[in-house]
Structure 1
């Protein structure tokens, strides 16, 4: 009986079955926040890394990762954030759908051109928002960019931030 009780305990305490996390959030980067000391990765999207560069409509490089983080922080302001856990990632962060006043933060980021739908995880949940943002030339879509997952792979293989970004 103990193995059965242990298995039930694991299911009941898994992140997917966890209660919502609610509170004032600190923005760590464009797709990660912290509430009550708990790091939370926004589900289904990928935002540029802090050091990542993109090209604007004027072809000049800008820190699109910083723009995503700053935009998210400004949007949240001092309002309460509600996160519904879905999983735990390899860095032991909760992966969750988070909202402010019933606005999905991931949808807001993608719709503003500050993050990308990550179909590997989202199954296209935010794809239509990305298409609309691209059509309006919002955020990253005003110029050019490298997908954050490709940027990280370049950095892991020894590349430097500017060389791995949409730079020369």
Structure 2
């Protein structure tokens, strides 16, 4: 019992983190199971991410087109007439956002600060994910021989690195201060 009392903050963190992660992951899976759409194929969030990525690629000066895939639940993006990438559900960064959100909730300060930081963090993750997809698409178009390195190593490291930095900023600057008796 004394061990539980001594480790109460750690136990609270773990229960909050895993509990909120499981709840949010369940809700996201519920969304995925019910969100299939012909208008916004394969589902709304992934569809919008593909269109916004397309717009950003065009802003970089490339002729771009995105269409629903006939082969799988994804959006295909073409650059200058060549289909380069598929945007699948995993590309929309929602699972990364769920991980970010669960961690911030586990280190909750007051609700106002926590909710503001969550909102700002989600906006940053979303925007940088669109940038990530656009840059990845352009890089694969320009350097197709590096597709595996770009897709499996560099760009996942980018998005998870952003989340890690946001966590670090939260812990360093915004988390509740602990008193010596809490340690």
Query: TM (normalized to structure 2)?
Result: 0.27
Instruction: Select the structure that is richer in strand.
Output: 1
Higher relative contact order (CA 8 A, sep 6+): 1
Structure number with the higher helix fraction is 2
